[in-house]
Chain A
Amino acid sequence: MLPVSLLAIITASFFLFAALPGDIPHAMLGQIATPEAIARLKERLGLDQSVFERFYHYIGDLSHGSLGESYYTGHSVLGEIGSRLPSTLELVIPGLVLAFVLGVGLGAVGGYYDRRAPDKATRGMLTVAQSVPDFLLALILILVFFSTLHWLPGPEGQLSFADTPPPHVTGMYVVDALLAGDFSLAASAARHLVLPVITLGIVYSAAFGRTTRALMGGALNSEFTRFGRACGLSERRLIWNAVVAARTSLLTYAAVLAAGIIGADAIIEIIFAWNGVGQWAVQAMLRQDLPAVEGYVVIVSAITVVIYLLLDLVSSLLDPRIRFDVSHDS
């Protein structure tokens, strides 16, 4: 199933992108390029071949572990993505954790105080979080915490201009700085992480919160909660039981968002000048750099497919009622 759906995605996106009316030679050489220059460029990029020939070569390269070269820089697409992916993960993973904690917390409070004041308050907060575009929230946070209060660094990327990056180990600056024993550099990298992570956390907490609110509301109004209360279980115990009852649904939702957040953090990366894959991919799109865009789609889809596979495995571990049946997994 895994390779099949991945291959389907690669094929579909390849032909889709090839069919779009973008004019790559003119985009690269400018509108006044001579026909000879265009012909030469097309030959160099392989654009003189038919779509099917190009697809054949692409799949051939892919089977050797190559995603081709960028039209503009000529560097290997896989290398460009690989060097930026750690920076993106450094941003996305804490963001997702914060979103999960915030969302589940707010949703659980809302579910517990059904239709009372705390429910209304948390619902209001979640509605605001849901209605603010992520880029606007990021800009407001910068305005407040950087421009006005000067508490945190502004949108200048992973490190200050004065900092030198730590020796490359994992590619995540906080981790690498700690490994190198440079605590002030690690602190600087962590301070640069705060605003983008808070932005991602707040924006994505809305989705978690709404789901948790619905799930907890259902679980806390169920027969087993009433029975538990009648038996004299503590309220804390009852809430914990409701969380346990909702665990697989919450996990599923977390996986769906984890799959989405890698693609969606591009905007946050651009605002904070974060040198991650999202920001790189959007630039590639604006320049109609087909191999780079295609490579990005392939990598992100692969990550998505792996996340869903892990989801299946973990939920079967968490909930013995779900059987992970390989033969039926299609």
Chain B
Amino acid sequence: MSVTTLKESLPRARSLVPRDHLGSRAKVALGIGFVGVLILAALFFPLPHSPTATNPEALLESPSRDHWFGTNSVGTDVFSRTIKAAETDLPLALAGTLAALIIGVPLGIWLASSPRWGERWMRFLDAFQALPLLILILALVALSNNQLWMIIVAVAIYAGPVYIRLVRSQVLSLREARFIEAARASGAGPYRLMRYHLLPNVRGVILAQTSLVAAGALLGITALSFLGIGVQPPTASWGSMIALDSSALVEGHWWPVIGPGIAIFLCIVAFNLVADGLREIGEDPPR
């Protein structure tokens, strides 16, 4: 192949990369945008009805122009309550994920950098993994009288080890890389190595994982409140809304359950979309 044909083929090959990236970035933006708009709507949007008021004269009304998602078995407007619940469920999931991130990432880095402690801690984590974690979390939140901060602690306990493992394995495999060796040879200390050489390279993987953890945390929190553990009525939460009207659904009144159900589903899809996009960007970094 002559030099000129190679040069001619280059721009075409490169133009494909940014277009793919546009798709990945759009996924990330769409996912974050959806969750963000939902939280902002819960906080500031003027809801058509009160999300907590009950109305014995409008029980289980099917969706109409006045009640977009109908009313539930105590007469509350399902649409307003579904939106309002985003204000509790989503920040709890995000706060739990953040707590796991803050605890897990430094621990993972530390365990990767000290082999002696690393091995012992990983053994401990193995034993920890054998615990029925979901049950433990249920019990933790239920036996602490349903305090909300306990939910955040529970998510951190659940997801912290995920980060520790991920970061440790990533850092361990990167440590042997040439550029790390070069940086060390040119006199970079441990902080500099971490800050400028290791962290930027594991950032993409961590972010993609974060989005998946957030999805898992949201599923867990809705499952908790579905069981009557965690967020308690009258505070709106998707899980407890579904629990309240699950018997109405069996009789054919589907709308009080479908509203919060769709909200959970779309949020999980949004988080997965963000994770997908971040992973694609990470796999194929722009040059």
Whether B132 pairs with A301 at a CB distance below 8 angstroms is yes
| CB–CB B134/A260 < 8 A | yes
Is A263 touching B134 in the complex (CB atoms < 8 A)?
yes
Q: Which of B235-272 contact A (CB under 8 A)?
A: 239, 242-243, 246, 249-252, 254, 257, 261, 264-265, 268-269, 272
Contact of B143 (CB < 8 Å), options: A131, A155, A285: A285
How many pairs, one residue from A and one from B, have CB atoms within 8 Å of each other in the complex? Answer: 127
Q: Is the CB of A297 within 8 A of B143?
A: no
Tell me the minimal C-beta distance from B221 to chain A in angstroms: 10
Given contact pairs A135-B242, A271-B246, A16 touches B140 in the complex (Cβ within 8 A): yes
Bound CA span A148–B268, Å: 28
Chain A residues with CB under 8 Å of B226's CB are 133, 135, 267
A215 within 8 A of B: no
Stretch from B3-11, B123-131, B177-185, B200-208 at the A interface = B123-131
B269: chain A residues at CB < 8 Å are 127, 131
Any B CB within 8 A of the CB of A270:
yes
> Which residues on the A side are within 8 Å of B254 (C-beta)?
143
Residues in chain A near residue B228, CB distance under 8 A: 286
Identify whether the interface residues of B are mostly helix, strand, loop, or mixed. helix
Instruction: Output the least CB separation between B208 and chain A (Å).
Output: 14
Instruction: A278 to B131: give the CA distance in the assembly, Å.
Output: 15
Contact between chains at B135 and A139 (CB < 8 Å):
no
Contact of B53 with A by CB under 8 A = no
Q: Is the CB of B142 within 8 A of A304?
A: no
What's the nearest-Cβ distance from chain A to residue B113, in Å?
23
The yes or no answer to B144 lying at the interface (CB within 8 A) is yes
Q: Hey, which chain B residues are within 8 Å of A262, CB to CB?
A: 132
Q: How far is the CB of B85 from chain A (nearest CB, A)?
A: 14
**Cα distance A304–B127 when bound, in Å?**
11
Does B86 reach chain A (CB closer than 8 Å)? no
A300 within 8 A of B: yes
Does any Cβ of A come within 8 Å of B105's Cβ?
no
Say yes or no: B227 contacts A17, CB within 8 Å. no
Q: How long is the Cα–Cα vector from A142 to B247 in the complex, in angstroms? A: 10
Inter-chain CA distance A254–B200, complex, in Å, is: 34
Alpha-carbon gap, A297 to B132, bound state (A): 7
Q: Is A313 an interface residue (CB 8 A)?
A: no
Contact between chains at A9 and B131 (CB < 8 Å): yes
A131 and B268 contact, CB distance less than 8 A: yes
Asked if residues A139 and B268 are in contact (CB atoms below 8 Å), the reply is no
Q: Can you list 30 A-B pairs, Cβ within 8 angstroms, ordered by A? A: A9-B130, A12-B131, A13-B131, A21-B145, A127-B269, A127-B272, A133-B222, A133-B223, A134-B223, A135-B223, A135-B226, A136-B261, A139-B249, A143-B250, A143-B252, A147-B252, A262-B132, A266-B135, A266-B227, A282-B138, A282-B227, A285-B138, A285-B143, A286-B227, A286-B228, A293-B139, A297-B131, A297-B135, A301-B131, A304-B132
Q: Which residues of B contact A (CB under 8 A)?
A: 123, 127, 130-136, 138-140, 142-145, 215, 219, 222-223, 226-229, 239, 242-243, 246, 249-252, 254, 257, 261, 264-265, 268-269, 272
The 9 closest A-B pairs by CB, nearest first: A131-B268, A285-B142, A263-B132, A20-B143, A300-B132, A22-B143, A136-B261, A263-B135, A263-B134
